[in-house]
Structures are given as C-alpha cells and as structure tokens.
C-alpha cells in the first residue's frame, strides 16, 4: 500500500511539474547604472556619460547620438545629429517587468525635429 501511495505522489508531481514551470512568467528587474556603464545595441555601443536627478544619458560618441532614459528606463529623448524625438511626459514603467503584463494607459505629447509642437498620443 505504501508503494502505491508513493507511486501516486510521484505521478502527481510529474504531471504537475510542467504546469508549475509554465506558470512562471519571465521577469526583468530594474537595473541601476553607474557612469561608464555601456549599453550594447544592434546599432552600436552607448556609454553612460551623465546621470541627472531624473535621467540617464547614454551617448554613442562615434555617431553623435544620445538616448535619454528615465531612472525607470523609459525613453525621454533620442538625438542623432540634427534629428530628435521626445516623449513628454515619458511612459511610466512599473518594475519588475513581466511577460504579458500591461501598464497603465496615459496621454503624452510626441515631438520631433519634423514636428516640434508635437502630436497627442495615448500610450499603453
């Protein structure tokens, strides 16, 4: 009888194991950066050149490009030569990020070098 109970427990664990594993969604924790840290992107390497109270500023020194991120890593502004885009206010991100998780919808203004007054957008 004890062997039968062990077999049933082991069988239940084997059947339940994929469900437990699949239920765990991939998560990403908020990273903290320090001057000199690098951001490797498919279009180049950006160095953290400045930390301001509300943002990180990464730059690609070879192509005169900058990316400004909030401390929560949302894009504030991207500059490349005379071209730029800016989101005001930037999207609010809630950490940790999780696959399938949605944020709060918010209104913002999307500005660029081709449309400095900007357009109203709704972000999710």
Pair 113, 83: CB distance under 8 Å: yes
- Tokens, residue 34: 């320090």
Rounded CA gap, 104 and 80, in Å? 30
* Largest Cα span, the chain: 79
pTM, full prediction: 0.76
Element (H, E) at 57: strand 55-60
Per-residue pLDDT of the chain (124 residues; tens, 9 = 90+): 444 434 444 444 444 455 445 567 899 999 999 999 999 999 999 999 999 999 999 999 888 899 999 999 999 999 998 999 999 999 998 899 999 888 778 999 999 999 999 999 998 8
């Amino acid at each position: 009888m004890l062997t039968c109970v062990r077999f049933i427990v082991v069988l239940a664990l084997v059947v339940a194991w994929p469900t437990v594993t699949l239920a765990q969604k991939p998560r990403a924790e908020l990273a903290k950066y320090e001057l000199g840290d690098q951001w490797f992107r498919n279009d180049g390497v950006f160095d953290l050149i400045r930390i301001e109270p509300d943002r990180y500023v990464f730059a690609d020194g070879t192509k005169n490009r900058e990316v400004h991120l909030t401390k929560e890593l949302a894009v504030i502004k991207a500059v490349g030569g005379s071209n730029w885009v800016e989101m005001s206010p930037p999207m609010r991100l809630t950490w940790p990020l999780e696959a399938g998780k949605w944020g709060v919808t918010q209104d913002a203004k999307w500005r660029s070098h081709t449309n400095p007054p900007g357009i109203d957008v709704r972000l999710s």
